[in-house]
A and B are shown apart, each in its own frame.
Chain A
Amino acid sequence: MFQTTKKFLISLVLVSLLIQPYQIHAKEIKLPSKGFHKLKKMTLEELMDIKISSVSKKEGILFNAAAAVSVITEEDIRRSGATTIPEILRTVPGMEVAQIDANKWAISTRGFNEIFSKKLLVLVDGRSVYNPAFAGVFWDVQDTLLEDIDRIEVIRGPGNTLWGANASNGVINIITKNAIKTQGALLSGGGGTQEEGFSNFRYGDKLNEKAHYRVYGKVFKRDDFVDAQGNDTKDDWKAIRGGFRIDWDNYDSNIFTIQGDIYSGKSGVEIKRDDNKIMVSPFFENSVEDASVSGANILARWNRVNEDQSDTQLQFYYDRFKRMESTLTQTFDTVDLDFQHRFNLGNDKEIIWGLGQRVVADNFRNSFTLSFNPASEVNFNTSGFIQSDIGFLDNQLTLVVGSKFSYNSFTEFEIQPNIRLSWTPNDTNTIWTALSHVVRTPDRVEDSSRVNISAFRVDGTPNMVAFFGSDNVDAENLTALELGYRFRPNDRLYFDITGFLNFYDHLITAETQTAFFETTPPPSHFVIPQVIDNKLSGETFGIEFLSQWNVTDWWKLKGWVSWLEIQLRNDLGSTDISAEGVAEGQSPQYQFFVQSRLNLPYGLELDKTLRFVNKLKTLDIPSYTRFDIRIGYHPREDVEISFVGQNLLDPHHPEFTSPNTGILSSEVPRSFYGKLTWKY
């Protein structure tokens, strides 16, 4: 029965994707001319983005870029039907986005996916949200009003020169709108099967002729996912969040921005270690709890445009994050100061350089399972970068050379150079290549923690396996070679193919050392230490292919496929036989994505997404195909009603697990929700 349903749904997708254009053509829909009265309601940026000519075929800077860059626009976000930032990222070619439970994701690109993907840097308006303890991102607290996001820029591959360490496999840069673009009121709300209820508001206005502001608030409650049998798990979550942004333009070459957010939430988590092999009591406790998360941040930025066409930017932010769980309570206070200056040397050469200082003070309330020594520490990272863009042959050929120089508390001095070359001989073709050397610096867990993993009896004596951080651990190194080609045969078609070959060394391993005896906590037991080291190396290579086709002004298709191979090997003397398999089997070898966006008459929109993800052999996750649908309706220009169905092809499926953390994973169920948005 289920197979029949699945076949029917797949057939429906195929037929609907393919037949629609012909049905619509028959009706000869004519889109209304934009006209001045419609244009005047748009912002200047939006007006400057309107295509006025079909002669030119370039897509702007993205077409020429010597990097694998994707931009998720405001419209992409609205039409995705996503309610969280991780779900939006599923549209990026090759991006690995897998849900562990209702409030945890594993997100990476080009391999090494795990609950804390250590090689992907995430920024919100230039503020790093990369957690320095676990070298990853707590996605359940990365949120804002999705309508306030201007765009999300995703760089697949090394982005270290401009963005800093830990951007070795990619950078996600979430950029919110200037306050002048969010004037007026916005109210939205809705609910459904997983989305039990959500409500958002925003209000923007002028402070005076030169300054604009907005404030927003957001609250949601999301239901549990399910286990393999379809029973509810204990991972429901809820959060409340608010924030503001002020942009002040003094009409004398300066713009000042100040913005901030504050949030609080409860994220359900179930820790379970009681399989037959592991001795639970008295060492480990199974638990079902709500992780209590809270935080706040404030950011100030000063931009200056000078008469000589140079510009400077000075940015400061403070971020506080607290997460309370039975295994660990962690608090971080981060202060960051960044300066950058861009200027031209002649017509064809641009220099950009900058300096940055980040200080992170952490504080942990240790538990038996997870402890840090010292429990409180201040770490810093001082960095500088310089990059030159040089144009040749009437700017058909662009050479980008640059390097990041940094000094950090864990591995001290690091240099991360890159060289990029792009050639755009005409409006139709761009070929580019890049060679980069980048590092991923260790986190607090790898440097100075103890993580008790499991316990078992041997001849009646308890034995415990524990990871130990090491202050001798080095940064992970990556030398990356990339080659890409973009082809735009006409104004409606776009192709982008990228190949990459990554050489890694000094990857993190956990090396078994001589066991020792420990009396606390009782009963006395042997500890089998697994000490963090750098004894894994290898290669990853793959291809990401993207195609976009604007079939008509009202029907757009986008599709991508990705292929990834990971070949790692332990260095001589390494005892960590699992590291190789873990890294190789946690990222899908193949992925496939296709999306159709259709504007129908009478203000209707019909959007469909089909996504295939290959199996994850280490985690025993089978392949899955996900189909989402969104129906939007605009009865008036200021009102939007949408209905979204997600994961329609199966009742539920697993996407990822995190066995080492003890977190009980759950399966993504089929879900539906409705949403009403009103803008004034």
Chain B
Amino acid sequence: MTLKNLIHFSCRFRYKTPSVSIFRSSLCLFSILLFLTFSFSNAFGQESNNEKSLKLELQVAMIYKILDFIQWPTNSFINSHKTFRIGVLGASPIFGSLKLLEEETIKDLQVKVELVENINNIKNFHLLYVCPKQINQMPFIVNAAMEGKTLTLSKTNGFAQRGGIINFYENKGKMRLEINLNQAKKSEFKISSRLLMLSRIISSENQ
């Protein structure tokens, strides 16, 4: 049945009053919409080709926003040479996306994004993005980050439970945040309640 025939078939009643006519016209329209809905429902819902790049850009944008809700310990930026240093530990395509932040300022500082070659260098960074394959080194990473007052982030299952401070995760098709608040406090970070309200609060596994 063509669309034209369907409209004709649905609406070829004779009506007694204009109000009934309008109501039935409305019902016709709704029936047609329902028909189209069911007919074409399988034609959509395919995965977007840009999903991966969207996830990376979204993480970077969220990092950029999150930093407005976090206060670093006093004197964290004294020896920073007016630079906010972001380190990426491990190989990840997010490195390229994080480089976009070099066009921005964070805490009124110029941003520099670098690969972290050695765990001992973590303390030189204000923010450390940990790639999933580095999760086995978490005890060393956590200690080094606490020493350097370095905010740790990742998108890895169990990151926050193992002492990472902020972890991205996906839920119901959206990017979400979990925060290890105790670990943040140990590192003397102050986190806005507004960010906490938007996040899932996680405790370390050994607590």
Contact = CB atoms under 8 A, between A and B. Distances in A.
A490 B190 contact: no
Nearest to B177: A48
11 contacts: A14-B7, A18-B3, A34-B57, A40-B104, A44-B62, A52-B54, A52-B55, A53-B173, A58-B172, A178-B194, A251-B193
B65 A43 contact: yes
A180 B58 contact: no
A52 B51 contact: yes
A345 interface: no
B32 A18 contact: yes
Interface of A: 3, 10, 13-14, 17-18, 33-37, 39-40, 42-45, 47-60, 178, 180, 247, 249-255, 303-305, 307, 309, 311, 489-493, 547, 549-552, 557, 559, 561, 590, 592, 594, 610, 612, 614-615, 622-625
Given A51-B173, A54-B45, A615-B19, A304 B62 contact: no
A56 B172 contact: yes
A57 B174 CA distance: 11
A403 to B, nearest CB: 27
B109 interface: no
A54 B65 contact: no
Contact of B29 (A47, A252, A610, A623): A610
Interface string B23-47: 1011101101110110011101111
A255 B194 contact: yes
Nearest to A615: B19
Interface stretch (B135-143, B145-153, B158-166, B195-203): B195-203
A250 to B, nearest CB: 8
B115 interface: no
Contacts of B51: 52-54
A45 B198 contact: yes
A623 B194 contact: no
Given A14-B7, A50-B174, A491 B37 contact: no
A250 B69 CA distance: 10
Contact of B23 (A42, A57, A489, A612): A612
Interface in B51-87: 51, 53-55, 57-58, 60-62, 64-66, 69, 71
Contacts of A303: 193, 197
B33 A53 contact: no
A620 B88 CA distance: 72
Interface residues of B, number: 63
A50 B65 CA distance: 15
B185 to A, nearest CB: 8
B205 interface: no
B97 A36 contact: yes
Contacts of A180: 194
A25 to B, nearest CB: 11
A39 B182 contact: no
B33 A52 contact: no
A547 B173 CA distance: 21
A42 B192 CA distance: 18
B37 A549 contact: yes
Nearest to B44: A492
B193 A623 contact: no
Contacts of B5: none
Contacts of B182: 307
Contacts of B50: 33
Contacts of B119: none
B68 to A, nearest CB: 8
Interface of B is mostly: helix
Contacts of B201: 305, 307, 309
Interface in B81-126: 97, 100, 104
B175 A47 contact: yes
A52 B65 CA distance: 18
Contact of A251 (B37, B45, B192): B192
Interface in B1-34: 3, 7, 18-20, 22-23, 25-27, 29-30, 32-34
Contact of A594 (B23, B33, B181, B197): B33
Nearest to B200: A309
B33 A622 contact: no
Nearest to A254: B193
B22 A491 contact: no
Contact of B26 (A37, A253, A612): A612
A40 B45 contact: no
Contacts of A178: 194
Given A53-B51, A56-B172, A47 B58 contact: yes
Contacts of A252: 190, 193
A59 B171 CA distance: 11
A48 B30 contact: no
Contacts of A249: 69, 192-194
A612 B22 CA distance: 8
B32 to A, nearest CB: 7
B33 A255 contact: no
Nearest to B101: A36
Contacts of B19: 614-615, 622-624
A303 B26 CA distance: 47
Contacts of A54: 45-48, 51, 173
Given A52-B58, A56-B172, A623-B19, A490 B65 contact: no
Closest 7 A/B residue pairs (Cβ): A623-B19, A39-B61, A490-B45, A56-B173, A251-B190, A53-B173, A44-B65
Contact of A547 (B18, B37, B174): B37
Contacts of B104: 40
A592 B26 CA distance: 7
Contacts of B172: 56, 58-60
Contacts of B66: 44
Nearest to B70: A251
B196 A305 contact: yes
